Amino acid sequence: MKKFFRSMAVAGVALAAGLSPALAAEISGAGASFPYPIYAKWADAYKAETGTGMNYQSIGSGGGIKQIKAKTVTFGASDAPLKGEDLAETGLVQFPMVMGGIVPVVNLDGIKPGEMVLDGPTLAKIFMGDVKSWNAPEIQKLNPNMKLPDQAIAIVHRSDGSGTTYNFAYYLAEVSPAWKDKVGVATSLQWPAGIGAKGNEGVAGNVANTKGAIGYVEYAYALQNGLTHANMINKAGKTVAPTADAFQAAAANADWKSKPGYGVILANQPGDASWPMTAATWILVYAKPQDPAATADALKFFSWAYDKGDKMADELHYVAMPDNVVADIKKTWAAEIKDASGKPVFTN
Amino acid sequence: MTNVAMRSSAAESAAPTQSAILNKLRGRDAIFHMLTRIAALGVLLTLGGVIVSLIFGAWPALSTFGFDFLFTASWNPVTEKFGALAPIYGTLVTAIIALVIAVPIGLMVAMFLTELCPMALRRPIGIAIELLAGIPSIIYGIWGLFVFAPFLQQTLQPFLISSFSSIPVLSTLFAGPPYGIGILTAGLILAIMVLPFITSISRDVFETVPPVLKEAAYGMGCTTWEVMRNIVLPYSRVGVVGGVMLSLGRALGETMAVTFVIGNAHRISGSILAPGTTISASIANEFTEAVDLMHSSSLVALGLILFVITFIVLAIARFLLMYVERQR
């Protein structure tokens, strides 16, 4: 019996020794659910290539910020950027990882994807409940050749707190003073009208089920569900369709250095080709991490994703960060993220 | 003489072993006592811990908004003005709709199963009802959103709107447009979800009615209805009330299925076809992204209110049962 226990103990120690390096190499992160599919895909490919895995809990941006502040994870992820003073106070470094587009989707008989055109002020009026019918003059003016039905507009919005809502509301507040005053910008809002549905899939489902409905979803969901998206008139006054090129144009035209931590919301960016509702998602890590090796592992993964992840992002209808922005981000890492001795934890 | 002495010495030698056995048994019993006590106290401690942490978490919101929190319908995360009236209203109204529909149907099914159903059908129907209880609530939610709500939007809701449009109070209660989802849809889904609880508990208590009572009533020429009304229901009312209260508890706390079909709007509307929200749906929707202290604290305060409502419901059920017992 004693012998048995001894051999078990030996086996246990051997097992622990064998496992512990593998556990240490696991990158841990938590936060936004919007980028979860692409992070998971990158993590799979990265593990196949390097043997280092990633454990990402898609618990929402709010949860991600709480977890990184509690230091239970190596990085946090958020769809809404932290403000400069928050970053300074918490000692976090923030950088954008990947982007996506938000599109208005409608359900009207006889109208195909991309046929309808809307602009920001009209979209704000619709979601405030001020424009109630599809044949209202505001909509007709933007679509002079379209026969619009005399049908009530059924508004569908997100019921759960969401970065998508944050970016959508940010855009409407940019273009409509009334929206800024009465509704404002946050991850969940006091909506003046309409019904709330849970998640992108809930909004997509409700719009698909309800005649006369309008909603807003991530571009990928509009494609997957075969929904009818509307084109938008951007800041330059040009009509644009939601494409990867239009999202990338918005990112390229943005002045990323104007806000601390690259916290630029890509709504309503200048440029003829820019899609007005482009959204980035951010990563948060500590400038002086408790475990520099773990943070170095995480940065190595992010660096790999910037360099080699573009095609995978494209497949899932995300948009990779432009190269010039990535170069800046890598400089920021070298300059700001340091271990106790003041050496950068990761350099490319 | 020698015989007696031998016997007594045998008894003396046997005595210590006997007391040892008894001691051992007593010791085991003490351990058993302790284990059960720890288990019971553990439940009490957990409950106390939940209450304390709820109050602790809700304190920032409660101290800021005070009693206004209970009576304000505004829920604005941007300006950080929070009030619980809309979720409280939605929680109570959906639960009431669910019970109004599920209690009569559930009792009728139980009566049919115990009194009228042919033997061959009893097991299949009984099993089907128990299976209904085993379906996860997310399935009800998805089914509600993709199948049930569009069906209601095209059939029941236009019918209700048009047929009550000229009757004063009912026209507000059933005011359109038919969204498909809303308070009524949530109530109907909840009714389906609590039906198995009411049915299987009622069936079990109906079966405890002594056959001799029913046979005597039938012998006197009572109809089946009269036997149910005057013998079975009065005999089993304590159990039936218990089943109804259990279902009410489930209806008040149900989260996932309701979130899918209620429309999640923090508004109080006169119409039960309009979208609304419940306490648990609001928490499930917003907790993940509630970064501000006041927002998350208000959500915890909602949880505390749900706790209090459930407690009140249980207390009322106890009082009802005590009252019924005393009437006997």
Question: Locate tokens 């109804």: which residue?
Answer: B244
The residue of chain B with its CA nearest to that of A211 is B179
Return the number of other C-beta atoms located less than 10 Å from residue A233's C-beta.
18
Question: Using a CB-CB distance cutoff of 8 angstroms, which residues of chain A are in contact with residue B146?
Answer: 205, 209
On the question of a cis peptide bond just before residue A113, with omega within 30 degrees of 0, the verdict is: no
pLDDT tens-digit map of A146-156: 889 988 899 99
> What is the pLDDT confidence band of residue A21, given thresholds at 50, 70 and 90?
very low
Q: What is the DSSP string of A164-207?
A: HHHHHHHHHHHH-HHHHHHT--SSS---SSSEEESHHHHHHHHH
Amino acid identity of A128?
Answer: M
Residue the block writes with tokens 């969901």? A221
> Is B153 in contact with A65 (Cβ distance < 8 A)?
no
Express each pLDDT in B181-220 by its tens digit: 899 999 999 999 999 999 989 999 998 999 999 999 999 9
Average pLDDT in the A318-342 region? 88
Nearest to A159 among B153, B179, B285 (CB): B285
Instruction: List b or e across A108-122, with b for residues whose CB sees 16 or more CB atoms inside 10 angstroms.
Output: beebebebbbbbbbb
How far, in Å, are A80, A285, B327 from residue B103 at the CA level?
Answer: 47, 55, 23
- Tens digits of residue pLDDT in A238-257: 999 998 889 988 888 888 88
Of B259, B306, B78, B159, nearest in space to A160 by CA: B259
Residue B279 has, within 13 A of its CA and on its CB side, a CA count of: 25
Which of B77, B264, B286 is the closest to A197 by Cβ?
A: B264
CB contact under 8 A, A159 and B264: yes
Dihedral of the alpha carbons of A309, A315, A321, A324, in degrees to the nearest 10? 70
DSSP code per residue over A221-267:
HHHHTT-EE-EEE-TTS-EE---HHHHHHHHHHS-GGGSGGG----B
**Window 184-223 of A, Cβ < 8 Å to B:** 184-191, 194-198, 202, 205-206, 209-210
Residue B260 in contact with partner chain A when CB distance is under 8 A: yes
CA distance B275 to A325: 44
Looking at the complex, report in whole angstroms how far the Cα of residue B259 sits from the nearest Cα belonging to chain A: 7
Q: State the average pLDDT over residues A121-128.
A: 94
What does the pLDDT look like over B220-278, one tens digit per residue?
999 989 999 999 998 888 889 888 988 998 899 899 899 989 988 888 888 888 899 99
- Find, in chain B, the residue whose alpha carbon is nearest to that of A82: B291
Confidence of residue A7 (pLDDT cuts 50, 70, 90): low
pTM listed for this prediction: 0.78
Do strands A27-31 and A54-57 pair parallel, antiparallel, or not at all (unpaired)? parallel
Look at residue B158 and tell me whether its pLDDT is greater than 60. yes
Q: Are residues A190 and B78, on separate chains, in Cβ contact within 8 Å?
A: yes
Q: Is B279's Cβ below 8 Å from some Cβ in A?
A: no
Cross-chain CB nearest to B289 (options A185, A187, A191)? A187
Residue B162 predicted with pLDDT over 80 = yes
B 208-247: CB under 8 A from A: none
Any chain B CB within 8 A of the CB of A300?
no
> What residues in B contact A62, CB-CB < 8 Å?
287-291, 296
Q: In one letter, which amino acid is A11?
A: A
How confident is the model over A226-231, as a mean pLDDT? 92
Interchain pair B77, A187: CB under 8 A: yes
Tell me, rounded to whole angstroms, the distance of Cα A317 from its chain centroid: 12
Distance from CA of A155 to the nearest CA of B (A): 10
The rounded distance, in Å, linking the Cα atoms of A280 and A97 is 7
| Interchain contact B23–A (C-beta under 8 A) | no
Q: Is the pLDDT of residue B107 over 90?
A: yes
ipTM: 0.71
Query: Contact, A242 vs A220, CB < 8 A?
Result: no
CB pairs under 8 A between A and B: 100
| CB-nearest partner of A152 from B146, B177, B290 | B177
User: At CA B101, angle to CA B99 and CA B103, rounded to 5?
Assistant: 60
